Amino acid sequence: MKNPRLNSRSKARRGQTALMFSIATVVTFGVLGLVVDMGWAYFRKQAAQAAAQAAAIAAVTAAVQSAGSNITCGAINVVCQSETVCPNPAPNPAVYNTDKGCLYATDNGFSTAGRQKVTMASGTGTPPTGNGAKPLYWVTVKVSESIPQLFSAVLGNRYGTVVARSTAGYFPPPTGGCVYVLDPASQSMLINGNILFQTGCGVNINSNNYAALKMVGSASLIASSGSKINVVGGYTADSNSTVSPVPTTGVPVFADPIGDIPPPDVGSCDSFGVSLGNNDRQTISPGVYCGPITVTGHSVLTMSPGLYISKIGGINVGGQATMNGTGVTIYLQTNSVAFAGGATSNLSAPTSGPWQGMLFYQDRADTTSASLVGGSGQLMTGILYFPSASLAYTAGSTTTAQSATIICDTLNITGNSYIAQSGNSPLVSLFSGVGVLE
């Protein structure tokens, strides 16, 4: 005879098992559905981000095409507005630059209709910046979409929302500058002694110090070809000194003109340094150098075209030594560069590619002083970028003027130097144009 208690317990266990199985099944399918839905949401997020970026770039580009490099609110078909919903349908053909942005969002699968929404803000508010650099005009596009949940709806989530945002801006070519001295407060540019520093494309000094520019003795500073000397603060000059034209003082604070250019990625070591002397000659290849590059004693070092990364040790070129290279970029992650008086160089930056125009780039975190002192035998074509470092500089002659752009924290001119005669610096201008800020 069966025990009724045992039979009852067996039924209870079967009921509990069924209940636990049901709960586990719901949870399992819910988690599985959540994974599937998250994957779908990620896919739609990427699509929305691409649409937002395309729309922002299109709107800024249209503004440049309409108004040129001097974009202002209300200029030809240029709109400045707070966050505004794109109309549905987007105007076609586009009249205003923001219409072009709305059209590009539509072409990429997103418009203000159904569960989608596209908004656009332009030229108002504070744009994202990189290292203080601010665009002349910018557009922010936000794209959102409510997407149905296919499986995880069993957990009560019927819809999910993806949101993407992108800002593009226009950076005009800087004018009036071969030299940018960035320190905001010190006596940041010094010319001392019987020295002439002549530039055909102007000087910009960011310091608010009363003697941000200081001329001592018989020093001369000449900005020719109609270029200017701009100083945020003031300047002092001894009676025997010459400054032409008279500096414009009290100008607005400016940002590092290439402050948005990121440093290169630094990989593992390819070399542990180079040491030449006693009339040695050597040609080296691009790579990561984890030891000093030293050139002395009438030796000649030739650099093949490409990117050189000085990870440790820096570069030292002694008097009577020579360093040559065409199409080279030298990135100084730690330490710096030191050319002694009498050193000869003929170095030029790449004319195309990702490092176009960049000759020297010292890391923004590195404050090690740099010295490019070579006299008339020193020729450098490209940007000499030492944004956080003091630079001692002398190079070129009246007949072999350098085509260089100097960007440094502070500048000490130690000998007669000449920079090529031009209306503005074409090298810095390479980094102007429409760019994505976020």
Residues 150-168 have pLDDT tens digits of 655 555 667 778 899 999 8
Six token digits for residue 178 = 């071969």
Residue 54 is which amino acid?
A
With 60 as the cut, is the pLDDT of residue 287 above it? yes
pLDDT value of position 148? 77
User: Is the confidence at residue 15, as pLDDT, over 80?
Assistant: no
Which tokens sit at 232?
């945020």
386 with 368: CB under 8 angstroms? no
pLDDT greater than 50 at residue 236 = yes
Name the burial class of residue 337, with classes exposed (0-12), middle (13-18) and buried (19+) by CB atoms within 10 angstroms of its CB. buried
0.75 cut: is pTM over it? no
The pLDDT tens digits of the residues spanning 49-61 come to: 999 999 999 999 8
pLDDT at residue 16 greater than cutoff 50: yes
Tell me: pLDDT of 270 over 90. yes
Query: What is the pLDDT, as a whole number, of residue 252?
Result: 87
Q: Residue 244 pLDDT > 90, yes or no?
A: yes
Return the pLDDT at 416. 85
Region 401-412: mean pLDDT is: 90
Model confidence pLDDT, tens digit, residues 326-371: 999 999 999 999 998 788 899 999 988 889 889 999 999 999 999 9
Farthest-apart Cα atoms in the chain, separation: 126
Task: Place 10 in a pLDDT band, splitting at 50, 70 and 90.
Answer: low
Tens digits of residue pLDDT in 80-121:
999 999 999 999 999 999 999 999 999 999 998 889 899 999
pLDDT of residue 36: 62
Q: What percent of the chain is modeled with pLDDT above 70? A: 83
pLDDT of residue 404: 86
Least confident of 35-39, 128-132, 309-313: 128-132
Contacts of 317 (CB under 8 A, 6+ apart): 295, 296, 301, 323, 337, 338, 339, 340, 343, 345, 374
pLDDT at 38: 72
Q: Comparing C-alpha atoms, which of 310, 337, 305, 341 is closest to residue 324?
A: 305
Please report which confidence band the pLDDT of residue 131 belongs to, taking 50, 70 and 90 as the band edges: very low
**Lowest-pLDDT choice from 7-11, 78-82, 83-87, 264-268:** 7-11
Question: How large is the average pLDDT for residues 1-16?
Answer: 53
Q: Mean of the per-residue pLDDT values for the chain?
A: 84
Let me know if 367 is exposed, middle or buried by CB neighbors in 10 A (0-12, 13-18, 19+).
middle
Which of 6-10, 221-225, 361-365 has the least mean pLDDT? 6-10
Query: What pLDDT, on the 0 to 100 scale, is given for residue 280?
Result: 94
Q: What is the DSSP letter of 38?
A: H
Report helix, strand or coil for 220.
strand
Domain ranges of the chain: 18-171, 179-421
- Position 402 scores a pLDDT of 80
* pLDDT of the residue at 311: 94
